[in-house]
Structure 1
Amino acid sequence: MLRARVLTAIVLLVGLLAAVFYLPAAGWLAVCALVCAAAAWEWGALAGFARPLRIAATFAFGAACLMLGHAAGFASPAASGGALLVPLYAASAAFWLLAVPAWLARKWALSNTVLALLVGFLVLVPTALALVQLRAIGPWPMLAAMAVVWVADIAAYFAGRAFGRNKLAPSISPGKTWEGAIGAVLAVLSFGFGILLWQGASLPGGALATAAALVAWTGVSIIGDLYESLLKRQAGLKDSGSILPGHGGILDRIDSLTSTLPMVALGALLLAR
């Protein structure tokens, strides 16, 4: 299992870097639409969709990503805008910051088909478009935004294994602990300030504001992880899929990105105005 996990991670990283640095804008948009479609297929399993609806949602979400990306100008090599997507990103942010905490507390289920489709759209399509937008701004900013989440995930895992005593959400994800969450926060603060200092970048709003943003970023990434864990538990699934040996499905790998990347993209658009 560990061997498969490591090999899959290496292949994914190499494939991601190759796509990010060598594909043209239209090609990267197509890749993100394919990832969105694959994740939509897995979302259908979490929501309990019948096969015809899963297929329809897969094509619809992928097509929506392509159409919105083209409408925002992301198929053009010079594109770095995306103002058209501000309402979509804002809706995504509202969902994660307002609806999901209540959802986790009350443990609602995706029992309504229309609701499941709407939520799936809000979870997946803004994430895919955020990947396209951030790459249009620059490959390194996009990778840095993703790396913050990866650092949080890895630090939470190892800190939780080493020091974990107090469960974070035992009825949703028994393996997660408060100690792991604290480890994630400390790692993200170190990573974030390290990158900013290394680049000689000014701290937006000062050190305290930057630290608060990094802590909030980590918290939102944990919420994304917990949300998918809840849906898997309710669906009786260990993983969202099996397409990635040793890792499960696409959703298992992007759960924390779904809650964070649209907010990063929204922040980038608002700061550019």
Structure 2
Amino acid sequence: MLRERVVTALLMLAGLLAAVFLLPTSGWWGACGLLGLAAAWEWAGLFRLPSAVRWGYGLIVAAAVVAFAAIGSPAIDTALFALSALFWMLLAPPWLKQRWLIAEGAVLPLLLGLVVLLPAAVAFARLREANVWMMLAVMAVVWVADIAAYFGGRAFGRRKLAPEISPGKSWEGVYAGLLGVLIYGVVVFSIWMPMVPQRLGWPVTVMLLLVLSALSVIGDLFESLLKRQAGIKDSSALLPGHGGVLDRIDSLTSTLPLVALWVLVWRLASQ
């Protein structure tokens, strides 16, 4: 199982880097559309929707991702990313606390899926266009938070974070993830991006890192809640040893749109 997980992770990393550095802009949009298709197909599966609906929904999301990416409207992008930020900051936390159930049917789950998946896929497209290294650095924030939380939780975990949603997560793991991200941020900004702290200031930089870390936890827990309510362990079996696409991008759905919004607002304010 561990070998399968490691092999899949290496293949995913190689595929990501190849797509990021080798594909033309239109090809990258298509890759983001495929990501949206797979995630939407799994999302609809969480709510036990028919196969035809799952595939149709996936194709609609994929087409919307490519269309938004191709249009390239700052106003549309701002609205899309702001909607995502508002959801994750204001609605997702009480949703997790109350463990709300989504009413049966297809309308509400599919609309919610658009709020969660569409901004994240478009953010992938926009951040690569803005600065590929920044995109990878932001993704690494999520990965570092996840890895540090895992090992910190295993070593020191005592108090459960959300036992009804994800019994394996602990507050000590969260603190370890935050510490790992801060160390990572200091190293990255000090060595590879020396201009960023001077422009933002270290207090703002640290605050952004902590916000992204917190949002990554919320994104992870939100998908865990939906899977628990659906009575399944993984969103699918598309990625051997890792589950599904949603299982790998859950934290990115809550973080990338916020970063894309920040980049967009920063650019508009600098003009």
Query: TM-score normalised to the size of structure 1?
Result: 0.94
Take 1:111 and 1:218, find their aligned partners in 2: how far apart are those partners? 30
Q: Which amino acid aligns with 1:257?
A: L
1:13-32 aligned within 5 A: 13-32=13-32
Flag structure 2 segments of 5+ consecutive residues without an equivalent.
Answer: none
Take 2:196 and 2:62, find their aligned partners in 1: how far apart are those partners? 38
1:98 and 2:77 correspond? no
1:123 and 2:122 correspond? no
1:131-142 aligned within 5 A: 131-142=124-135
Partner of 2:76: 84
1:206, CA displacement in angstroms? 2.0
**Residues 206-215 or 130-139, more deviating:** 206-215
1:145-160 aligned within 5 A: 145-160=138-153
CA contact (8 A) 1:47 1:110 kept: no
1:155, CA displacement in angstroms? 0.5
Q: Deviations over 1:2-23 (max 9, x none)?
A: 0000000000001110110010
Q: Which amino acid aligns with 1:2?
A: L
Partner of 1:243: 238
1:83, CA displacement in angstroms? 4.4
1:109, CA displacement in angstroms? 1.8
For 2:222, which of 224, 227, 241 is the aligned residue?
A: 227
Take 2:78 and 2:45, find their aligned partners in 1: how far apart are those partners? 29
SS of residue paired to 1:174:
strand
Q: Deviations over 1:6-56 (max 9, x none)?
A: 000000001110110010000000001001000101001112212222121
Q: Which amino acid aligns with 1:13?
A: L
Q: Deviations over 1:139-178 (max 9, x none)?
A: 1111011010000011110100111011000000000000
Partner of 1:78: none
1:262 and 2:257 correspond? yes
Take 2:36 and 2:116, find their aligned partners in 1: how far apart are those partners? 10
SS of residue paired to 1:244:
coil
Query: TM-score normalised to the size of structure 2?
Result: 0.95
Partner of 2:266: 271
Take 1:15 and 1:23, find their aligned partners in 2: how far apart are those partners? 11
SS of residue paired to 1:36:
helix
SS of residue paired to 1:48:
coil
Give aligned-pair identity as a percent.
51
Distance 1:83 1:198, change over 3 A: farther
Take 1:249 and 1:87, find their aligned partners in 2: how far apart are those partners? 29
SS of residue paired to 1:175:
strand
Partner of 2:44: 44
Q: Which amino acid aligns with 1:62?
A: A
Q: Which amino acid aligns with 1:161?
A: R
1:189-200 aligned within 5 A: 189-199=182-192, 200=194
SS of residue paired to 2:195:
coil
Partner of 1:62: 62
Take 2:52 and 2:102, find their aligned partners in 1: how far apart are those partners? 18
**Residues 209-218 or 153-162, more deviating:** 209-218
Take 1:130 and 1:63, find their aligned partners in 2: how far apart are those partners? 15
1:165 and 2:158 correspond? yes
1:102, CA displacement in angstroms? 1.2
Q: Which amino acid aligns with 1:52?
A: A
Take 2:99 and 2:119, find their aligned partners in 1: how far apart are those partners? 24
